[in-house]
Amino acid sequence: CNLAHYLGLGHHLRILNFIIGTFDKVNPQHEDRVKMTDTQFDGVEVRVYEPPAKAEKNLRRSVVYIHGGGWALSSTRGSFYNNLCSIMAESLDAVVVSIEYRLVPDFHFPAQFEDVLHATRHFLRPEVLAQYSVDPSRVAISGDSAGGNLAAAVCQELSQDENETSSFKLQALIYPVLQAFDFNTPSYRQNEFSPVLPRFVMVKFWIDYFSGNYEFAQSLVVNNHTSLDVSEASPFRDRVDWTSLITPRFRKTYKPVTPATGKVEILQAIPSLLDVRAAPLLAEKQVLRLQPKTYILTCEIDVLRDDGIMYAKRLEDAGVDITLDHFEDCFHGCMIFTIWPTRFSAGIRIRDSYIKWLSENL
């Protein structure tokens, strides 16, 4: 199909990462008052940001941060995320742990999830929190886009672990990607060709994440993988029912796309499409009840807008304290665009709103 053909052209992930790395070289990181340390937590590379020491020796709050990039792009050490985490550490007087998980195309699901889970478990050990002078009762997990996906999935996993001695006070998800069940939500259709993350690119990221076959691309776009004759999809339909989970303001005049017949072989070939570790929106209500106070930031110009709105509604229905922070004039990914040559006022506005919420709630 044309889509599968397009996906195979000009989008090599290693080339994109090379371009990002080249940008970092012309936009060098500057030394500031935040101490940066590259280390490993349970074999996973992390960068730890520690704010300037104060005379009083009070325990600090902390944020575990997971960067975005479709599970395939960018780095904790790149200038975009280095800048963000440095500002967070100093603004919040918090220890920020940024996790350098393994990337597609060299590694696929669940490697990224497992990296974040292992590094986070290590950091939450009492002796490690004590090493960084972190208050165990004031730790948040956060991430943007694919990082928001990993943050939500790991938060769900740890909330069910009775052996875990520490828990998150908060989770903060920035335009998270949360499901691959329905690629025809109103926001996917409204922003089908929007810059930064058009629908075909998000479909590509999902296929790459699962090391899937591009021959399924067009079928995924029209929801053939979750058609009514695919029994494996039936238990999840209510959990992604945007006709009830998002308000008319966002639904507009769009109608659901639910084919009567589709391709059962897609889920047979890529069962991870319905794995809650990859698609946290599909979690049961009993799991959602265990989640901490949550902040979700969404942008109008974003195919993932409705993923975040649906998750906010499901968490709220499960009794979780929710803040949904929606920006009408902003686009996917803009929070990291706060340094030259992509210093956008929209990015600064979103970043400041996010940090303000963390400051008031962590």
Sign of the dihedral defined by the CA atoms of residues 330, 335, 338, 342, in that order:
negative
Three-class DSSP category at 19: helix
Bridge partners (DSSP) listed for residue 139: 62
Say how far apart CA 7 and CA 26 lie, in whole Å.
29
| Contact present, 325 and 354 (Cβ < 8 Å) | yes
The side-by-side arrangement of strands in the sheet containing 134-144 is 35-41, 44-50, 94-99, 60-66, 134-144, 170-174, 293-301, 322-331
Burial profile 30-62: b = 16 or more Cβ within 10 angstroms, e = fewer: eeeebebeeeebeebbbbbbbbeeeeeeeebbb
Q: How many CB atoms lie within 10 A of CB 13?
A: 19
CB atoms within 10 A of CB 240: 22
Indicate the residue type of 271. P
Rounded Cα distance, 134 and 124, in Å:
10
Catalytic residue among 75, 86, 145, 194: 145
User: How far is it, in rounded angstroms, from Cα 223 to Cα 18?
Assistant: 33
Q: Tell me if residue 302 is catalytic.
A: yes
Cα-Cα end-to-end distance for the chain: 48
Q: Are 46 and 76 in contact (CB under 8 A)?
A: yes
Q: Which helix (H) or strand (E) holds 201?
A: helix 199-209
Q: Is 325 a catalytic residue?
A: no
Supply the angle between the helices 79-92 and 345-361 in degrees, to the nearest 10.
40
| Half-sphere exposure of residue 328: CA atoms within 13 angstroms, side-chain side | 2
Q: Specify the 3-state DSSP secondary structure of 258.
A: coil
Q: Which of 115, 144, 208, 302 is catalytic?
A: 302
Cα Rg for the chain, rounded, in angstroms?
20
Q: Which residues participate in catalysis according to the annotation?
A: 145, 302, 332
